[in-house]
A and B are shown apart, each in its own frame.
Chain A
Amino acid sequence: MITLTHYLILTGLLFAIGLVGVMRRTNLLMLFFSTEILLNAVNIGFVAVSKYYGDFTGQMFAFFIIAVAASEVAVGLGLLILWYKRNGSVDLNSLQMMKG
């Protein structure tokens, strides 16, 4: 029997994977994917909890997160393309003009 706990553990695991990705990836595209994983991990949790409580709020939240994630991707990719056009690279180590 898969209980809420399992879903939450999955959420946690996915979130952790996302975090590791965020920390480790130097390819901007992969980095964006990692942030998507983060959000989707949370989505799973929301839906599961929503189901557990029999309350739709969680699912609503999940929808909103999906929407936001989509727009994030849109903006993110836009920025990425701009950067790629200018620098020919999607490596985030190329983003070091400003520091100190």
Chain B
Amino acid sequence: MEKYLYTALFAPLVSSLFVALFASRPKMLFTGVIASILIAISMVSSFVLLIDVNTHGALHVNMMDWIVAGNLYIPFGFVVDEVSVIMMVTVTLVSTVVHIYSIGYMDHDKSFNRFFSYLSAFVFSMMILVMSDNFVGLFIGWEGVGLCSWLLIGFWYHKHSASWAANEAFIMNRIADLGMLMGLFLIYWNVGSLQYEEVFATLKDLDSVVVATIGIFLFIGAMGKSAQFPLHTWLADAMEGPTPVSALIHAATMVTAGVYLVIRCGELYSMIPDVGFAIASLGAFVALFAASMALVNNDLKRIIAYSTLSQLGYMFVAAGLGAYWIALFHLMTHAFFKSLLFLGAGNVMHAMHDELNIKKMGGLYGSMKATAILMSVASVALAGIYPLAGFFSKDKILEVAFNEGAYFLWFALFIGAGLTAFYSFRLVMLVFFGEKEYIKHGFHPHEAQPFVIYALLPLGLLAVIAGWFEHQFEGFTTRLLARYEIHISHGIEIVLIGATLCIAVGGIAFAIYKYQRGGFSKTWEEGFFYKLLSNQYYIPKVYELYIMRPFTMLSQFVWQKIDMKVVDFTVDSIARTIYKTGEKSRKMQSGNLSDMLRWMVVGMVVLLVLALFYRPMA
């Protein structure tokens, strides 16, 4: 089975390196095709591994040593177990679709080849992330996806906003990475190893404070990658990247790496329920917080991005409350329908010549039926309507929250579900139905190429059916992950499901009702809440005003005032003082013979005086 493992892992790398050879050349179709094929091979291998793990259990290989120093031993080791194989399948599946889709989407881009190189490199990094058998290996992938995210967000580097967003994403992630590194250091110095197996085996012997600290540090890492508050601003800005990138990286895979980390460290987090609860609370907060921002945004991609953020919050609630398999389940289903949503949005953008303002769209259903249907399906799934995928996974999370007695969290998520339904359909309505605003702006929308639509079909299918495998999924993953027992009675469960469904349907209905009549009136937009939400709670502004600018000013100050005017000046003035003393002492050398003789005599006299009055002790 090892060869499947290596195939799954390295096919994307081969793809990336191969395509990179043509990176600076003009578009060559075969690069996209070959990349897609290689990623597909990786996907097939992943499925083979899935079956294999199901029958034979986990697979663990140690490829080679990496860092060996002192007591520290870090190999390139890979593990394919119930969790990682699910991630692998999800990642490769979505990646394959996105690769194929991109052949169409990037058709006219002059950096077509480069795009595929980066995209495949991302898949490779992601595979490393999920397959590694130790924390540092995970960190390689972690940083690798960060790099690829940087490259891909800033793919159109001639755009200022794109490169700015890329840097923002990278730097914010770095902040979190530092937390993660600290966690790794702490683990190392307490366990002496960074292998998952050894770490989890030793955890129970450790001081609970240490475990909690490790948990917090690792979660800080997760917060960056999964864009949790307050490190969330990069995600919305990351929408500057090409849409396939948003679909793959910023919806389906990379941003869920944080959730994956928490799930992977389930054994650790289950020892520290308090930290877990804090994670869940933050998750619930973000779920609501992000959803609220999605309500008013007019940017097609940003709405979906906020939705992603909100869903990540759901995942963290589940993971924080110890329902790891449920978090993973939602992660997977979300990957399917959210990437579908993004890719559909990509189609819309293409049709609208990269216009993103949904207020300028409307009535696109007429010209792009397939896309409209796919996106509607994805939205329904996202809203959590039975029997689509989102229903099964999201409802489970609400149940978990209720089950844990965290009614407040449950309530937040409950409201969030309603908001989700509303904004999803606000988007659908504004884009595909209602007035054809685009005509005013002179757009001529057209449906995407057929193969692009076909490529989306598997995702559409999965968005519908993925939830049906809930029990198989539970059975499979809980072989490794902790089981989660739901204690609440069946009746209450039914009531809860009903309530959730109601609010979701209510949200949808309200959106349809409202936007068929042209939406809210303009006066709304003057309101405080609207402004607050549309300005993202002014958080980016705060960051700019109170972090970036002061940092820039402080840097300037440190350089020009401290380094130049104090440190360097001191050094120079020492030298200058010595030199000036030289100029002064030079006056002694007047060249006048009388002065010279006087110096001699004065010297004698001074010494004589000293001889009389200066009596040092021996």
- In the complex, A touching B (Cβ < 8 A): yes
Q: Which residues of A contact B (CB under 8 A)?
A: 19, 22-26, 31, 92-93, 95-100
Q: Which residues of A contact B594 (CB under 8 A)?
A: 23-26, 92-93
Q: How far is the CA of A24 from the CA of B601 in the complex (A)?
A: 11
B489 CB–A CB distance under 8 Å: no
Q: Which of B570-604 contact A (CB under 8 A)?
A: 586, 589-594, 597-598, 601
User: By the criterion CB–CB under 8 Å, are A19 and B601 in contact?
Assistant: yes
Interface residues on B, range: 10 to 19
* A23 contacts B598, C-beta separation under 8 Å: yes
Q: What is the CA–CA distance of A25 and B593 in the complex, to the nearest angstrom?
A: 10
Contact of A99 among B589, B598, B601 (CB under 8 A): B589
Closest 8 A-B residue pairs measured CB to CB? Answer: A99-B591, A92-B593, A96-B591, A23-B598, A22-B597, A95-B593, A98-B591, A19-B601
B26 smallest CB distance to A (angstroms):
72
Of B590, B592, B594, B601, chain A has the most CB atoms within 10 Å of the CB of B594
Chain A nearest CB, measured from B506 CB (Å):
97
- What are the interface flags for B311-343 relative to A under an 8 Å C-beta threshold, 1 for contact and 0 otherwise? 000000000000000000000000000000000
Q: Chain A residues near B591 (CB, 8 Å)?
A: 95-100
Q: List 16 A-B contacts (CB under 8 A).
A: A19-B601, A22-B597, A23-B594, A23-B601, A93-B592, A93-B594, A95-B591, A95-B592, A96-B592, A97-B591, A98-B591, A99-B591, A99-B592, A100-B586, A100-B589, A100-B591
CA distance A100 to B582 in the complex (A): 10
Residues 354-387 of B, flagged 1 when their CB comes within 8 A of A and 0 if not, give: 0000000000000000000000000000000000
> Which residue in chain B gives the minimum CB-CB distance to A96?
B591
How many Å lie between the Cα of A24 and that of B597 in the bound state? 9
Residues of A within 8 A of B589 (CB): 99-100
User: A23 to B590, Cβ gap below 8 A?
Assistant: no
Given contacts A96-B590, A99-B590, 16 further A-B contacts (CB under 8 A): A19-B601, A22-B601, A23-B598, A23-B601, A26-B594, A92-B594, A93-B592, A95-B591, A95-B592, A95-B593, A97-B591, A98-B591, A99-B591, A99-B592, A100-B589, A100-B591
Within the complex, what minimum Cβ distance (angstroms) separates A27 from chain B?
11
When each residue 462-479 of chain B gets 1 if its CB lies under 8 Å from chain A and 0 otherwise, what string results? 000000000000000000
Beta-carbon nearest neighbor of B600 in chain A = A22
With the chains together, A100 CA to B589 CA distance in Å? 5
- The answer for the CA separation of A23 and B603 in the assembled complex, in Å, is 13
Q: Cα distance A26–B595 when bound, in Å? A: 11
Rounded to whole Å, the gap between the CB of A87 and the closest CB of chain B is: 14
Q: Which residues of B contact A (CB under 8 A)?
A: 586, 589-594, 597-598, 601
Q: Cβ of A23 and Cβ of B593 under 8 Å apart?
A: no
Closest beta carbon of chain B to A34's beta carbon, Å = 9
Residues of B within 8 A of A99 (CB): 589-592
- Cα of A31 to Cα of B591 in the assembled complex, Å: 17
Collect the chain B residues with CB atoms within 8 Å of residue A22's CB.
Answer: 597, 601
Question: Which B residues lie within 8 Å of A100 (CB)?
Answer: 586, 589, 591
Least CB distance, A18 to chain B, in whole angstroms:
10
A77 to chain B, nearest CB (A): 16
What residues of chain B lie closer than 8 Å to A95, measured between beta carbons?
Answer: 591-593
Q: How far is the CB of A86 from chain B (nearest CB, A)?
A: 16
Contacts of A31 in B (CB 8 A): 593
Contact partners of B586 in chain A: CB under 8 A? 100
- Nearest-CB residue, chain A, relative to B592: A96
- Chain A's closest residue to B604 (CB) is A19
Q: Which residues of A contact B592 (CB under 8 A)?
A: 92-93, 95-96, 99
Chain A residues, CB < 8 A from B590: 96, 99
Complex Cα spacing A97 to B593, Å: 11
A31 to B594, alpha carbons, bound, how many Å? Answer: 9
Complex alpha-carbon distance, A95 and B594, angstroms:
10
Alpha-carbon separation in the docked complex, A22 to B594 (Å): 8
B22 CB → nearest A CB, Å? 72
* Chain B residues near A92 (CB-CB < 8 A): 592-594
CA–CA, A96 to B593, complex, Å? 8
In the complex, what distance in Å separates the CA atom of A99 from the CA atom of B592? Answer: 8
Min CB–CB distance B372 → chain A (angstroms): 93
| Complex interface: chain A residues within 8 A of B598 (CB) | 23
Tell me, rounded to whole Å, the shortest Cβ–Cβ distance linking A93 to chain B.
7
State A97–B601 Cα separation when bound (angstroms). 23
Chain B, residue nearest A19 (CB): B601
- The answer for the CA separation of A92 and B591 in the assembled complex, in Å, is 10
Contact partners of B597 in chain A: CB under 8 A:
22-23
- Output the least CB separation between B607 and chain A (Å): 14
> CA of A23 to CA of B597 in the docked complex: distance in angstroms?
6
B379–chain A nearest beta-carbon distance, Å: 90
User: Chain B: which residue is nearest A24 at the CB level?
Assistant: B594
Write out the residue numbers on chain A whose beta carbons fall within 8 Å of the beta carbon of B593.
Answer: 31, 92, 95
* Interface-centre pick from B590, B593, B598 (highest chain A CB count, 10 A): B593
Complex Cα distance A45/B594, Å?
A: 27
User: Closest residue to A98 on the B side, CB-wise?
Assistant: B591
Residue of B nearest to A34 (CB): B597
Residue of A at shortest CB range from B590?
A99
* Complex alpha-carbon distance, A73 and B586, angstroms: 32
Q: How far is the CA of A55 from the CA of B598 in the complex (A)?
A: 35
Q: Could you tell me the distance between the alpha carbons of A49 and B67 in the complex, rounded to whole angstroms?
A: 89
Min distance, Cβ A75 to any Cβ of chain B, angstroms: 16
- When distances are taken between beta carbons in the complex, the residues of chain B under 8 Å from A19 are 601
In the complex, chain B residues whose CB is within 8 Å of the CB of A97: 591
| Complexed CA–CA distance, A31 and B592 (Å) | 13
CB distance from B284 to the nearest CB of A (A): 83
Question: How long is the Cα–Cα vector from A96 to B594 in the complex, in angstroms?
Answer: 11
User: Min CB distance, A81 to chain B, in Å?
Assistant: 17
* Docked complex Cα distance between A64 and B366 (Å): 130
Q: How distant is A44 from chain B, measured CB to nearest CB, in Å?
A: 20
Across the two chains, which residue of chain A brings its CB closest to B583? A100
Chain B residues with CB under 8 A of A24: 594
Q: Which residue of chain B has the shortest Cβ distance to A99 in the bound complex?
A: B591
